[in-house]
Chains A and B, each alone.
Chain A
Amino acid sequence: MAKKIGVFICYCGGNISDFVDVEKIAQEIAHEDDVVRAKTHMFVCSDAAQEEIIREIKERGLEALVIASCSPKLHLETFRRLAQRAGLNPYTYIQVNIREQCSWAHTHNREEATEKALRLVRAGVARARMARPLKPIEIKTIPAALVVGAGITGLRTAVALSDLGLTVHLVEKEKRVGGLLNHLDRLFPYGRQATELIEELRREVERRENIHLYLEAEVTKKTGSVGNFKLTIVGPEGEKEVHVGAVLVATGGNPYVPNPGEYGYGAPGILTLLDFHRLIRDCRGAKRFVFNGHPVRRVVFIYCVGFREKKGHRFCSRYCCAAGVYAGLTLKKDFPQIEQFHLYRDMRTYGSLERLYHQALEEGLVFVRFNETHRPEVLETEEGLTVRVKDELTGGKELAISCDLIVLVTGLEGKEQQKLVDVLKLPVGKDGFFNEIHPKLRPVETVIDGLFITGACQAPKNISESVASGLAAAAKSGVLLLPGKLDLEPQIARVNLQKCSWCGLCAEACPYEAIVKEEIQGKAVARVNPALCKGEGACVPVCPEEAIEVQGYEHQQIKAMIDALCKETA
């Protein structure tokens, strides 16, 4: 199995070399079997270093490549492409993380950090020694996508997909499109009426021949895999099967409803932000701000209701600070005589939304900061509502604000949609929202290739953030489907036909129904469907014969890595 291996070690401009002796690693690793080249670079990812490595691979006839640098999350694909440009199979490239998992973690002990880095690189060499050239699995793709949810994100995403020339099936469980925006008033930052925006998008969707809208419909079944999914849509007109290359989930979030009694919720005059939107929309036409027939003179907004709690929703719902401030500005614009008090824990009008907060201050809205441990107390008296609060910014001075209306500024929580989760196998996080692979590096992708998540089903988001993620998912779908074919990651399960004698345990363990029984020359064995296998390896530990393994993570390869991690430096 002798193989010419090249090892390149990165200084990372000091990020690694300040804490790890990279030259020592190059010297030591050069003595390893099969290593024919070991060299350091200031930045392996730089164009110059990449070109030099490509030249060395070609000149020295290297057959496998190890780069010890940063996390694979940053540069695995960069260096796989490098390997490919040099004529190597990209799967014979192994990345070793000696930055995040070594130099940055052990800044205090250069000697031990160097020793650890050396062991990690040796394990990389052991893995590279056994790395097989793998061929991506090429499949044909269907130029169509299915979007679940026809709120603002789903509608805009469908239009973007249609612009790309893809056929779109847009599925909405309600009777009309628009979702949450049907209940909202004006939208920040430009004051557009939410219903106008939805109507404009609805007309656009209706106008397009390549968008098929299904109302009062649900996706009830999904089979197939990336590039070729088969989905069943059930609606008033019965059942329909559609074939698509990608699925985009845009089901949105759920506006939080406080528990009865939470800041007095349930009593007359205590509303959520969503209720307030409806109220101001109705009152604007009448030009009188009244609630239950009584004119409103003073409104108190209480922020962070139901979020950033030790029990329940621990996270910050992000968009509600800006939404609360904008609701105040809208009220000020339409009914300037009404006094407003905004009681907040922290004002998180991030980015350019900070301007809203400044505008609110300039327009005379009163902001009172309260502490988590001394929350506002809502009292119902015969005279009406009173809120007692300790003002943090005046040394905890207690204020008693009598008012006609209290608006609880509530955020978005994850939607309860177990049926859809089960059908599409969506990953749900602890916070109740769907999980992407990585919030920054792969923000709309899930581990199921071709299944994207967008908008507020991922996390609380405002409309522009939701639409931006929808457009990102549409662009990703375009990249995936427009070429007409795609390469699948080949690191999937593989059966050793000599060892396998079909016991069925692997098929039972497989969550994707990717393993079936088949007869080969009279012998029953397991067969893996490469389009369905995800390579998670659930089948591996259950096999009594070690007959099934994930390529790139084979038993021998793992054991060789374990040995290499233990090797002492002579």
Chain B
Amino acid sequence: MPRGPKILVFSTNTISDAGIDLAGASHLDYPTGVVFIAVPCSSGVDPRWILYALKEACFDGVFIAADGTDCPYLTDCTKRTGEIVKKAQELLEAHQIDPRRLKMAAICSVCADAFVNHVKKFAQLLEDLAHEER
């Protein structure tokens, strides 16, 4: 297994996945514990999947790489994804999981640097949380 936290990223097929691709194409380095499931739109990420990843599976954190204002489906995608995050964090709290283990950021189709910065900071936060919880 990779050194460092295991992070599941929900990316979106047409927008944030392209930004994450660009990070790779630019050889921007980020932790190897970061893996991806691409979905059509971040407004369709189900809070129950997030709970499953953090409670039932191995993940230390879930990162929603949202479409933001570039969403090709919805003009209010950020608001909707924000509501999903809120709902998911409530669900995590109800299961005694620190809600900071879920992070969302809008990643556009060329936001390679932004993605890498976010995911590195998130990995650091998850490491700090692991120390706190010890």
Which residues of A are at the interface with B, using a C-beta cutoff of 8 A? 71-73, 97, 99-109, 112-113, 115-116, 119-120, 123, 421, 425, 427-430, 435, 437-438, 446-448, 491, 509, 511, 534-541, 546, 550, 553, 555, 558-559, 561-563, 565-566, 568
| B66 → A minimal CB distance (Å) | 12
B49 contacts A73, C-beta separation under 8 Å: no
- Are A438 and B109 also in contact (CB < 8 A) when A108-B29, A119-B35, A541-B84 are? yes
Q: Does B20 contact A (CB under 8 A)?
A: yes
A538 contacts B29, C-beta separation under 8 Å: no
- The residue on A at minimum CB distance from B28 is A105
Inside 8 A of B80's CB, which chain A residues have their CB?
509, 538
Q: How many residues of B contact A (CB 8 A)?
A: 53
Closest 9 pairs (CB-CB, A-B): A537-B44, A447-B72, A566-B58, A100-B24, A536-B41, A100-B21, A104-B24, A536-B73, A112-B32
Inside 8 A of B56's CB, which chain A residues have their CB?
559, 562
Distance, CA A429 to CA B15, complexed state (A): 12
Q: Does B117 contact A (CB under 8 A)?
A: no
A566 contacts B57, C-beta separation under 8 Å: yes
B21 contacts A437, C-beta separation under 8 Å: no
Contact with A along B52-82 (1 / 0, CB 8 A): 1100111100000000011111110000100
Inside 8 A of A425's CB, which chain B residues have their CB?
75
Q: Does B3 contact A (CB under 8 A)?
A: yes
- The residue on A at minimum CB distance from B33 is A116
Count how many pairs of residues, one from A and one from B, have CB atoms less than 8 Å apart in the complex: 152
Q: List 17 A-B contacts (CB under 8 A).
A: A71-B18, A72-B38, A73-B17, A101-B21, A105-B24, A105-B27, A106-B32, A511-B74, A534-B73, A540-B44, A541-B46, A559-B56, A562-B8, A562-B57, A563-B57, A565-B37, A566-B58
- The residue on A at minimum CB distance from B80 is A538
| B102 → A minimal CB distance (Å) | 13
Which residues of B are at the interface with A, using a C-beta cutoff of 8 A? 1-3, 6, 8, 13-14, 17-18, 20-25, 27-30, 32-33, 35-41, 43-49, 52-53, 56-59, 69-75, 80, 84, 87, 108-109
A120 contacts B36, C-beta separation under 8 Å: yes
Distance, CA A115 to CA B34, complexed state (A): 12
Distance, CA A99 to CA B36, complexed state (A): 13
A536's partner among B22, B25, B33, B43 (CB-CB below 8 A) is: B43
Inside 8 A of A103's CB, which chain B residues have their CB?
24
A538's partner among B3, B23, B74, B87 (CB-CB below 8 A) is: B74
Distance, CA A334 to CA B21, complexed state (A): 51
Distance, CA A509 to CA B47, complexed state (A): 15
Distance, CA A132 to CA B101, complexed state (A): 33
Inside 8 A of A559's CB, which chain B residues have their CB?
49, 52, 56
Distance, CA A535 to CA B74, complexed state (A): 12
Distance, CA A171 to CA B75, complexed state (A): 25
| B96 → A minimal CB distance (Å) | 20
